[in-house]
Amino acid sequence: MGTKAYTESSIEWAKVDLKRIPHIVSGEVPGPRSQEMHRRAAAIMKGYSSQVTLFPVVFEKGYGCTLTDVDGNVYLDFSSGIYVTTLGHCHPKVTMAVQEAAGQLMNCHDFTTPIKLRLLEKLKQVLPGDLAGVQLYDNGTTAVEAGLRVCRAATGKHEFLSCYGDFHGKSGHAVSLARMKPVNGATRAAGFYMLPRPNPYRPWLKKADGTIDTDAYFSFYDEFIAEATTGQIAGIVLEPIQGWAGSIFPPDDFFPKLRQWCDARRILLLADEVLTGMGRTGKLLAMEHWNTLPDVVTLGKGFGNGFPVTAMVVREPYACSVEHISASTSYGGNPMACAAALASIEAIEEEGLLENALRLEGYFVKRLAQMMADHPIVGDVRCKGCLMGVELVKDRVSKEPFDEAGEFIYKEAFRRGLAWIPAGHILRMSPPIVMDLDVAAKCMDIIDEAIGEAERHFGYSQ
């Protein structure tokens, strides 16, 4: 992907005045208007996320790296709207593109339009390898479901493998790829199986010295297929970096070895990049960090910088299989969606944002290491680009998860003006890749202070 070098002026529009922001004016947060409006909404709307139930603020507007609630409190956004507004809120280029498209043509099913053609040709240009067969959708779950059908059509096989801790959507077979709870009222579909994936901090299979044994996972996969399946594995579906599970990164040798393992067994590799793709980790696709080309990729969230547009992309040898799965949808690829996605890709190129994400990573890695040195409840830290995780433990030897501290820190940082993501004992962070270093430092200061407050609250010394 050709990008121009990052310069301070290239993202001047997203600058934040740290003398004025964050700015908490309501005393109590969430403030009175937020509390009252959320109460009224919650009487009707059901099924809120933990992010909202823990801190029911009502946001009114956002711009760049900031969010403003209905009480006038202004927060720094360290979640990108849960990995969505990767380029910041109301990016001028994306906003103008959607406005222009909405004034011309809103929908015409899956007919080609000029803006769709430009997006398709841009995707073929910027995506790695021979990822060339594209279908467009309006949500990540649908893109994943389409990817599963392509794997079946391309291989003639019907079973799937996925991994503990991954998340791929909330309907049908996408649900069957992830953990299920009895309260969900769901039953895993036949032919869907889950396996452990290597977690360097909490390895399931280890060498004699206690370090992770990546090869042992593949030996287990072979045994599992032989004993628990019919051997008709069409594909294995994974997040390159686990999001819902807490920003968990694989060991560097995992994906290259997985690619070889799949090829030897005629199993397609589906990388669900809905969360990690489009610059979040400093590469257009996170899989590029491991020089691994998947057979099928799903894109979303940052793909349209908040506009509901997603994609399923297939390597050239399997592109013809898309023709056999009834792939089109009513809303996928509508002109507004295509305009948002194209403008987002162009903004990444024009503003040097992949370079900026890696520049931020350099700062975050150092700051996270210092955080771990300073705080005994921090058991592990990880970072690629603008995707981070901080794992909280009651004791570094036992590694017992510290869920109570996670909830406390989430709320404490929010009260101090940081909007971000809860995940039990793992603090998840995904700032917009348009953020500058000064704002990044302020956000990390708030988190550092909140962790210190939690340690005092729970009786840990710093």
The domain ranges of the chain are: 8-78+352-457, 92-350
Neighbours of 374 (CB within 10 A): 13
Q: Helix crossing, 403-415 with 437-457: angle to 10°?
A: 130
64 CB neighbour count, 10 Å cutoff:
24
**Interhelix angle 335-350/114-126, nearest 10 degrees:** 40
Q: What does pTM read for this prediction?
A: 0.95
DSSP 3-state of 381: strand
Q: Quick check: 3 pLDDT over 60?
A: no
What integer best gives the mean pLDDT of the chain?
94
Instruction: Give the residue from 308, 309, 242, 303 showing the smallest Cα distance to 271.
Output: 242
- When pLDDT is averaged across residues 11-16 and rounded to a whole number, the result is 92
| CATH number, domain 92-350, options 2.40.40.20, 3.40.640.10, 3.30.70.2740, 3.40.980.10 | 3.40.640.10
Residue 171 has pLDDT above 90, yes or no: no
Torsion-angle region of residue 125: left (phi > 0), alpha (psi -120 to 50) or beta?
A: alpha
Check whether 187 has a pLDDT greater than 60.
Answer: yes
Outline where 266-334 has alpha helix (H).
none
What pLDDT is attached to residue 180? Answer: 78
Residue 25: band (very low, low, confident or very high) from pLDDT cuts 50, 70, 90: very high
Looking only at the bridges linking them, the beta strands covering 159-163 and 192-195 are: parallel
Instruction: Answer whether the bond into residue 22 is a cis peptide, omega within 30°.
Output: yes
pLDDT at 184 over 70: no
In tens, the pLDDT along 273-301 reads 999 999 999 999 999 999 999 999 999 99
Looking at the structure, give the CATH architecture of the domain made up of residues 8-78+352-457.
Alpha-Beta Complex (3.90)
DSSP state of 165: T
Q: How confident is the model at residue 55 (pLDDT cuts 50, 70, 90)?
A: very high
Bridging pattern class, strands 296-299 and 426-429: unpaired
- pLDDT at residue number 2: 52
